[in-house]
Amino acid sequence: MKKFLCALLSVMLVLSFAAFASAEWKFERKVTIVCPWGVGGGADSTLRPMANLLKPILGQEVEIVNVTGGNGVTAVEYVYKQPADGYTYMLGTQSLFMQDIQGTTSMNFKDEFIPVARLVHAINVITASKKAMDRKGYKTFSEMIEYVKKNPFEVSVGMLTSTGLDGASLKQALEGLDILDVSYPSGSEMNSALVGGHIDIMVTGTDEIEGLIAAGDVVPLLALSEKRMKRYPDVECSVELGINSVLGPARGIFAKKGTPQEAIDVLVAAIEKASKDPQWQAFLVQGCYDERPGFAGPAEYGADCEKDYKLLSDYLKSEGVLKKDYYK
C-alpha cells in the first residue's frame, strides 16, 4: 500500500513538474532558507524580517532553519545534501568562502553553490574602548597608529576568529603593524571586553554596538569604506586615508547548483520587491545597513562574490593556510 502510494505520488510529482517546466515557476510548498548562524545573531536578524516580507509575495510559508556549528560548515553540508528542487536555499557571507578555501567543506562551495541575491552589505568599523583610550592617550585613528609604532605589541585588537573576515579586514587596514590579536567566540563577549577596557580596539559591524557608541563607551575610529558613514560624519574612512580596505560583511542568498532557473528568477524578483518595501527600508536604517546599497541581483552579487573570493584567497595565501586555490 505504502509502495503504491509512493509510486502514485512520484508520478504525480513528475507530471506536475512537467506541467510547470514551461510555464512560470510557482512555489507549491514551504520554502526553506537555512541560516548557518544562531537565532538572535546578525545573520539571523537580517533573514527573519526578509522571510516575513517574502511570505505574501511568494504565497507560501518561508521557513528559517538555523543550522549552526563549524563556522557555517555544518549548514553548507546540510544544504548540499538536500535535493536542488528550488525549495531549499541558504544564507551566505564571505565567512563561508573562507571555510571553502581553507578546505573544511567536503565539496567546492564556489562550484556547487550559486549566488542568488544580496540582502545587505554592511561596513566594518574599527572601534576603540573609551577606557583604554583614556589610559593610552590616543584620540584618533592616526594617533593610535603612532602609538602602535612607538609601542609594538601593546595594543590588543579583538575580532571573531583571526582567519575570518575580520582578520582579513584588519590585516589590510593595519598592514605591517605589531598588534596583539585576540579572538573571541562571540560578539557579546568581545563587546563587553571592549567596554571593560580589557582589549583596546576591535573590528566589527556597527549594528550591534550602536547603543554603546551612543553612550560613549565605544568610540568609532575608522570606517572601512569608500565614503564616510552618514551616521558618523566625523569618523574618517579608510579610502580617504589612502588605506585600501573596504571589505565588509555581505549577506546574501545562495542556491545549490542545479536549482531550476525559473525558481531562482521568481525568488530574485520577490526579494527585489520585498527590499523596496518600507518595512525593509526601515529595518536597513535601524540595523545600520543603509550605508551601502543592499539588494543586488545574481549578476552583480556574483561578480562581488568572485572579487571577494580572489581577495580572501590572497589573504589566506599570505597567512599560509590556503588549501584550495581557485586561482592557480
**Which residues, 164 to 203, sit near other proteins by CB under 8 A?**
164, 167, 171, 180-186, 188-189, 191-193, 195-196, 198-199
Locate the DSSP E strands across 161-234: 180-184, 201-205, 218-223
Q: How far is the CB of 303 from other proteins (least distance, A)?
A: 27
- Pick between residue 211 and residue 278 the one whose CB is nearest to other proteins: 211
Cβ 162 vs Cβ 95: under 8 Å: no
Q: Is 277 in the site for other proteins (CB under 8 A)?
A: no
185-203 as b/e: b if 16+ CB within 10 A:
eebeebbebbbebebbbbb
Nearest to 300 by CA among 93, 118, 109, 97: 118
Among 142, 146, 151, 214, interactor with other proteins by CB under 8 A: 214
Query: Which residues in 280-309 contact other proteins (CB under 8 A)?
Result: 282-283, 286-287
Q: Is 5 in the site for other proteins (CB under 8 A)?
A: yes
Q: Is 17 in the site for other proteins (CB under 8 A)?
A: no
Q: Is 324 in the site for other proteins (CB under 8 A)?
A: no
* Phi/psi at 23 (5° precision): -75, 180
- Pick between residue 210 and residue 272 the one whose CB is nearest to other proteins: 210
User: DSSP 3-state assignment of 74?
Assistant: helix
What CA–CA distance (Å, rounded) separates 241 from 232?
Answer: 16
Query: Which residues in 238-257 contact other proteins (CB under 8 A)?
Result: none
Query: Which residues in 97-116 contact other proteins (CB under 8 A)?
Result: 102-104, 106
Q: How far is the CB of 164 from other proteins (least distance, A)?
A: 7
Cα dihedral 33/36/38/40 (nearest 10): -60
Among 66, 140, 172, 281, interactor with other proteins by CB under 8 A: 66
Q: How far is the CB of 247 from other proteins (least distance, A)?
A: 16
Point out which residues pair with 129 in neighbouring strands: 218
User: DSSP 3-state assignment of 204?
Assistant: strand
Question: H or E segment at 115?
Answer: strand 113-121
- Pick between residue 62 and residue 268 the one whose CB is nearest to other proteins: 62
Question: Which span (213-221, 233-241, 254-262, 291-299) binds other proteins, by CB under 8 A?
Answer: 213-221
What CA–CA distance (Å, rounded) separates 328 from 325?
Answer: 6
Q: Which three cell numbers stand for residue 103?
A: 578546505
Q: Which three cell numbers stand for residue 133?
A: 583610550
Among 261, 314, 318, 327, interactor with other proteins by CB under 8 A: 318
Among 15, 16, 17, 40, interactor with other proteins by CB under 8 A: 40
- Pick between residue 210 and residue 304 the one whose CB is nearest to other proteins: 210
Q: Which three cell numbers stand for residue 286?
A: 535601524
Q: Is 54 in the site for other proteins (CB under 8 A)?
A: no
